[in-house]
Structures are given as C-alpha cells and as structure tokens.
Amino acid sequence: MLPLRIKRQHISFSTTAPMMAVVIYVEDTPDLRTFRADLRLITGAVEPPPPHISLLYAVDETGRQPTWSSDDRRLKSISEECGRRLDAVEFVLGRPGIVAPAGAWTNIKSWRVVRKL
C-alpha cells in the first residue's frame, strides 16, 4: 500500500487536545482509511482522531499542559505562521513506524520506535 500520497486540507489548532495543539489535517482517502484500519488491527489500537500530521504538542516535561497552550490567540498565531511557511500541499507517507512510551503517552521524551514498517 505504501507509499501513500495525501493532500493537505488545512492547518488548525486546539486549546483542549494537547496532542493536537497545531496540526495539518489531511485528505481522508480510501487508501489512507484502509491503511489506518489495518494498523488498528495489527496494534489493537482504538479509533484514532481524523487523519492529521502533528506539528506541535502542548505538553511540558511533567506531562501537563503549559499555560500558553490554553491561549487561543497564541495557538492561532502559531498555526497561521505554519500555514504561511509551509509550501507543501501534498505529503508522501512511505516509512511508518510504531512508537511506544515508557509510561504515559504524554511522556513524549520516552517514546521509542518499536517497529518500522
């Protein structure tokens, strides 16, 4: 199935979802849906959020959201700046990897690649 070509839809932000503070939402193509469904079967994962590429997580070293992450204006400004700087309208997904944390998922520094596909 790989590589998959996906197109950018829009860049957005969230003050409530720390793992999606700034994201690029991408086109949910049939091939991408099939790929994501297969990964869920392989890993036993739950239904993921809509397809996106994370640009910024709002989690500090303690696993908590920093104060700036609830500032709507600040995150909006960051997402708008990313939109101005990002020329790409298409992405090629070709070498996925599976990561696992040591403990909570918010412990991003502990993420380790456990398998490359």
Domains of the chain: 4-116 (3.90.1140.10)
Confidence bin at 95 (pLDDT 50/70/90) = confident
* 15-72 residue pLDDT tens: 999 999 999 999 999 999 999 999 899 888 898 899 999 999 998 888 889 999 999 9
Please check the confidence at residue 1 and state whether its pLDDT lies above 80: no
- Give the chain's mean pLDDT: 91
- Rounded CA separation 116/97 (Å): 4
Please choose, from the candidates 70, 61, 93, the residue with its C-alpha nearest in 3D space to the C-alpha of residue 21.
70
Please check the confidence at residue 117 and state whether its pLDDT lies above 80: no
What's the chain's length in residues? 117
- Rounded CA separation 6/92 (Å): 6
Q: What is the DSSP pairing of strand 22-26 with strand 52-56?
A: antiparallel
- Residue 83 is predicted with a pLDDT of 93
Confidence bin at 74 (pLDDT 50/70/90) = very high
